[in-house]
Amino acid sequence: MATTSPTVDELTIAELREGFRGTVLEPGDEGYDDARAVWNGMIDRRPAVVAQCAGVADVMAAVDFGRENEMLVAVKGGGHHIAGDAVCDDGLVVDLSEMRSVRVDPDARTARVEPGATLADFDHEAQAFGLATPLGINSTTGVAGLTLGGGFGWLTRKYGMTVDNLRSVDVVTADGERRRASGDENPDLFWGLRGGSGNFGVATSFEFDLHEVGPEVLAGPVVYPGEDAADVLRHVRDFNEEAPDEAAVWAILRKAPPLPFLPSDTHGVGVLVVVAFYAGDVDEGEQVLEPLRSYGDPIADAVGPHRYAEFQQSFDPLLTEGARNYWKSHNFEQLPDEAIDTAVEYAAEIPSPLSEIFFAQLGGEMARVPDDATAYPHRDAAYAMNVHTRWEDPEDDDRCIEWAREFYDAMAPHATGGVYVNFSSDEGQQAITYGENYDRLAELKAEYDPTNLFRMNRNVEPSD
């Protein structure tokens, strides 16, 4: 995949600035370095032009500019994707981060969201009316990238994936035209946008269904010593097999961070963090989660009533921008004892205090949607594992990446062979990312982006 593009001269850039309501930045301009920064500190790319769009007209102008000048085009929403595809060297960045409006219709229970909005922006507006839709677990994540990749989080077992709650998308395609995609308008494009990543254009607006959630939910972590991890993980797995859709339980293997509810002598020591969430009545949730919380001898139990929007931000301090990140991911239909033992073994050698292995419980409503109903294909996944390798010193790059790859390979015999696109650091995994939906995506790509203008993503090449 090409990562550079022809240079453009000052006169050409001046033409883009004419009538552009947002800001056009070049190397050396004030704000340029901030604009090219993304969440993953390993990514250090220098685009020739950053077009910070103020609205749809700017997006259309930027797409036309990139196409007409045969530039490499990257699209930046929240800038949170692990692979850093939001920026490119020498090309054009269509920067949507200033387009952050969220408009909620509490009567219709819908939200209209611009592509620069983060999960925190969305939750702030929706929770004013006691409403939410399934999103991720880190509030600084961009809604656009999360959604285009499929999207899952604490509400997924109850209400499905983010794309299952999507009503429509406005998108500027490679020809510079704005199109509406929904079940009634351009339904083929709508299918591709629900899990096909950024392959079909620049999304400028998303319309979501909303559900009654909170404002208070039962949620929080139960922390166990690392030596108990294998036994507790087996118990969590068995509990999850019988749990109702309202319950979502994730398990995290890592070194204990310096959280206020953990004794100081556990900080930096290997632990298992079992995070429980209940999308329903708090008292009912207490009864449902009791067998989970009463098991074993935990170091701490911080499960309790929390405001939903606040709980959505609870992991933010562990996921701040600027650290170096390399991720690997597997999906699992189940977690056999052998897989649990392997995960615990590798967690004992975790390469940095910031790294973690997490197993996100899926299933429920998500699994009731056919594999081919949306471009996201992995409806059989009961768990998604993220080998979330994270560190600060560039000299640790090789050691951390090697550990992640070795662990990924060791878990492969137990996995489905699928991978979640938003957890993919490496190029070349398209076949397992899009699965049996790949050929249909390639046909759509040929229709809407035949020259592969939008290739800074987990790219689907146009079919012949």
Q: How far apart are CA 464 and CA 443, in angstroms?
A: 8
Q: How far apart are CA 235 and CA 14, in angstroms?
A: 63
In this prediction, residue 1 has a pLDDT band, given cuts at 50, 70 and 90, of very low
Encode pLDDT of 326-351 as tens digits.
999 999 999 999 999 999 999 999 99
Which residue(s) pair with 273 in the sheet? 223, 252
Locate 28 and state its tokens. Answer: 């050396």
Structure-token match 């500027």, residue found: 172
What do you get for the CA distance between the two ends of the chain, in Å? Answer: 17
Q: How far apart are CA 458 and CA 203, in angstroms?
A: 16
Which domains can be identified in the chain, with CATH numbers?
10-95 (3.30.43.10), 102-212 (3.30.465.10), 216-423 (3.40.462.20)
Q: Is the dihedral of CA 443, 449, 451, 455 positive or negative?
A: negative
Average pLDDT over residues 38-60: 97
Q: What phi, psi does 407 have (nearest 5°)?
A: -65, -45
Q: Given a cut of 70, is residue 6 above it in pLDDT?
A: no
The whole-number pLDDT of residue 2 equals 47
Q: Residues with Cβ < 8 Å from 185, sequence gap 6 or more?
A: 168, 179
Which residue(s) pair with 247 in the sheet? 278
The whole-number pLDDT of residue 19 equals 87
Encode pLDDT of 397-455 as tens digits.
999 999 999 999 999 999 999 999 999 888 778 888 999 999 999 999 999 999 999 99
Encode pLDDT of 272-320 as tens digits.
999 999 999 999 999 999 999 999 999 999 999 999 999 999 999 999 9
Encode pLDDT of 121-139 as tens digits.
999 999 999 999 999 999 9
CA angle, residues 406, 409, 414, in degrees to nearest 5: 140
Q: What kind and span of H or E run contains 221?
A: strand 216-225
The whole-number pLDDT of residue 323 equals 97
- 207, 110 contact by CB (below 8 A): yes
Which residue(s) pair with 219 in the sheet? 277, 304
Q: How far apart are CA 109 and CA 125, in angstroms?
A: 12
Q: Given a cut of 80, is residue 352 above it in pLDDT?
A: yes
Q: What phi, psi does 459 have (nearest 5°)?
A: -75, 135
Average pLDDT over residues 362-371: 97
Q: Given a cut of 60, is residue 164 above it in pLDDT?
A: yes
- Cis bond upstream, residue 215 (ω within 30): yes
Encode pLDDT of 196-249 as tens digits.
999 999 999 999 999 999 999 999 999 999 999 999 999 999 999 999 999 999
Encode pLDDT of 429-439 as tens digits.
888 899 999 99
Percent of the chain with pLDDT over 90: 93
